[in-house]
Each structure stands twice: as structure tokens, then as C-alpha cells.
Amino acid sequence: MIRVNVIPVHIVEATVERRTQVAQVGPQRIGSEVIMSSQGAKGRTLDAAAIKRQFPGLADSHLHYLDSAATAQVPSSVLEALRHFETTARANVHGEVHRLARAAIAAYDEARARVARFLHARSPSEIVFTSGATAAINLLAHSYGARLREGDEVVISLLEHHSNMLPWRDLAERRGIVVRMLPMTEDGRLDLGWLESEIGRRCKLIALTHCSNVTGAITDVGRVVAAARAAGAVVMLDGAQRAPHGPVDVQALDVDFYAFAGHKCYGPTGIGVLWGRRELLEEMPPFMTGGQMIESVTLEEVRYARPPRRFEAGTPPIAGAIGLGAALDWMATLDWRAVRSHELRLTRRLLEGLQRLDGVRVIGPGDTHDRRGVVSFHMAGIPPAEVCRVLDLRHGVAMRSGYHCAQPLVAAFGVAGVARASLAPYNDDTDVDALLEGVEELVRQPSAVAAAAKPAERRVPSEG
């Protein structure tokens, strides 16, 4: 039986003091997360057009890609790294009997080292490659969860993606643990006022989003870690939405586990990462068993390999890992202070533009304080899927609609789905202009615009 402790009234009807946007002089630091001031970084600019030219998938000048929170586009350097591996070093990474295998092993090991640098991990041996962030969190729930006993508690929040909610609820059903859920504030932030009451002596693990994939709100990690340490619990962050926005310092954050996906970090699909403190990984049993994750096997005994091999049974995602390493190398070339300033300016434009329109409700914080460029909204009387369909066909805007794999969170706002725009370094003012123009058009003439938005009558001209 799943025993989930929720505070239903507080989730939907939380009353908090509304935030007022205040111009700040410098960056604000929360743990190792640097949030740029509302004024941005003076003297730093970002050439988004030059960045966009590095992405073959964005070559169509009439495409306004605002769906990077689902999957980011891939730069040429990553595509070339994949091509190079597949044409010059395609082999398995287990064993060194020939030169292609040696080249594959070297490339795979270097990819692990690149991820370690991106996360500022103590050692590449703390990096476990998986098929994605979902697989990384399921690995943790299975392997770390094996040490939990009936009555032990795991704390999550209402802001979680299903990938960081369902594995823990499944664990509750299988092992009798209790899943406690932190509520959110009325503007879609994690309500940390409940930390002290929800984290008790039975709490063993806190698993929270680093950045919400619906509201864009950033978690105050330092405060969460302090509460966890006081209770003797470990902390896992779902970094799927934070990692695409620049390097992460897991040592400064002082968390114990961190998960993210390659396809949101300008890399290939089918690759993800679980970082864990070495001493914790050493204590965990494997998630899956099979080839290449053992030291020895006899008819009487199995000795498992040390991490990370213990958690990478079978042939790992070799090409995906190499592509991810190339993507993180590409990310390392960017001035992330300039990127953050650019992103906040575009986010502010989106928020202010949407908030001016009648019948449009922003789902999440209404300002740029402690948030990323993920902007969700709901239009009265128009289904989110229809909003995205019209914006695509008439304005070339690529967005996503629905619950965004966070159905309890979206439902808590009292709506059946939202439209979501998400920003990346290759976005610029033309993308924001196209979105706002399309939404304003829908506000003025919703029925006429929707009826006119048929594939055969697309207004946006094709290339050539």
C-alpha cells in the first residue's frame, strides 16, 4: 500500500506574501547556484545568432524553437563527435584486444571525465552512465532504496516530474516506506516553510527538483541540505532542467546524488547521468545484473565490480556518452554569466508580454527571481494543445502542451494542462516576438484564428 503524506489544502490554497521584483546590484548565490540580478551583467552580451548558426536543426529561419526543456537541439560539434566515433572507433568498451576497442575505451573514459568536470565531482568514478534522467532516478530508488526499511521516509515535493515521483511511490508500495510531500506556494515555488515539520527522524532521503520543468522555479538547495543534515538524511537533486543552464558544482551544493539527461544538454538522446558520492555508491547493490558489471562469477558466488561499472550492466550507451561529453565541451565554451543575463532578459519579456494579455494566466512565478527560462501559461477557453498547434502553423513557434509529466503540479493550479515555452542560449528576441504575436492574435480572435490554422493554409513561408 502506498502511504503518501500530502497536505492537500496547503498545496492548492497556500497563502504567501507576493514577491515584488527588486533591482539588485550583483548576483545572488544559493548554494553554488548563481542567479543573476534583475538588471543582468553589465557590459556582457551574448551573440545568440552566432550560437544558433552552430545548430543544423535551427537552420530554418522561420522556426522559433521554444521546446528545449523537452529536448534541446544539437550543435555541429556533437554531431561530428558522434560521426567520428561511429566511423573510426565503433567497438565495445569491454576488453582491449584490438585498436578499435582501445579507441572506444579511451573515448568512453574521457566522456566520463568530462561529465565529472562539468559537475565538479571529486572523481570520474562517481559518474554512472544511464539511459536518461528517468533511469538514473529509478536506479537510485532501487539500489539506495534497498537499504530502506518499512516506516522509513522519503521526502519529495509537489513540483516533481513524474520521474522523481513515481519511483518513490513504487518503492513505498514494494517496501512499505512512507513518501512525504512538500507543498508549493501559490506562485509555484517549493514551500520550504514545511521542511521542519515534514523532515523527521525517520527521513532517510530527500529527492527534489533542482529547477521545475513547469514553473521554472529554482530550489533553495542550501536550506534543504541543512534540514537533511540535521535529520541524518541524504539529498538527491533532479537536475534535468538545471544542467542545461551551465556547469553544476555538486561539492559546493553539498548534495549526495545528482541526476540529469543528455538530450536536454545539447547532446544525444538515450544518455543520462547519476552522480553519487563514492562512499554511498560503494554501499549500494546493483540495479541490473548481467555482463561486465562483475569481478567474478562462480556457481557458488558472485562478486560485483566497484562503481561505476557495478551500475552499468551490459553494453553501455557508448556513443551517447561520447556525444554527451562533446556537448559538455561545447557548453564549456560559453560565457555563462552572459547566457544567464540574456536568458533572464528574454524571460522577463515573455512574462511581461503574457501578463499584459487578457485571459492569459502565467503558471509559476511572475518575475525572474530565482527562476529559469521555463514559462508556462494557460489561455481561458482555449486548450493548450490548440494554442501550440496554432502557434506552430501560423507563426512557426515550436512549444509543448499538456501536463509536462507533472500532472499533480499542473492540476494543483486548477487547469487541465498548460502551454510551455522554454529558452536556450540559441534563442533571441525574434523567438519571443513570434510567440507573443501569436498569443495576442489568439486573444483577439480565438475562433477565427484557430479555424484558419490548417496545415494547407500555413502562413509561414517555406525555405527556398
Q: Which three cell numbers stand for residue 138?
A: 529509478
Number of H helices, E strands in the chain: 16, 18
CA distance 127 to 108: 12
CA distance 117 to 213: 25
Q: Which three cell numbers stand for residue 377?
A: 501559461
Can you list the positions of beta strands (E) in 153-269?
153-157, 178-182, 203-209, 234-238, 257-261
Burial of 451 (0-12, 13-18, 19+ CB in 10 A): exposed
CA distance 101 to 104: 5
CA distance 273 to 416: 32
Q: Which three cell numbers stand for residue 313?
A: 550492466
Positions marked catalytic: 405
Going by the DSSP 8-state scheme, the letter that residue 102 receives in this structure is H
The candidate with the shortest Cα–Cα distance to 238, out of 223, 252, 218, 215, is 218
Q: Would you say the C-alpha torsion 405, 408, 413, 415 has a positive or negative sign?
A: positive
Which residues are CB-contacts of 448 (< 8 A; sequence separation ≥ 6)? Answer: none
Going by the DSSP 8-state scheme, the letter that residue 461 receives in this structure is P
User: Coil, strand or helix: which one is 107?
Assistant: helix
Which residues are CB-contacts of 122 (< 8 A; sequence separation ≥ 6)? Answer: 251, 278
CA distance 362 to 378: 7
Measured in degrees and rounded to the nearest 5, phi and psi for residue 331 equal -60, -35
Pairing status of strand 234-238 against strand 203-209? parallel
Q: Which three cell numbers stand for residue 127?
A: 559518474
Cis peptide before 308 (omega within 30 of 0): yes
CA distance 141 to 325: 26
**Cα–Cα–Cα angle for 170, 173, 174, rounded to 5 degrees:** 90
The candidate with the shortest Cα–Cα distance to 194, out of 242, 155, 168, is 155
The candidate with the shortest Cα–Cα distance to 158, out of 416, 415, 420, 408, is 408
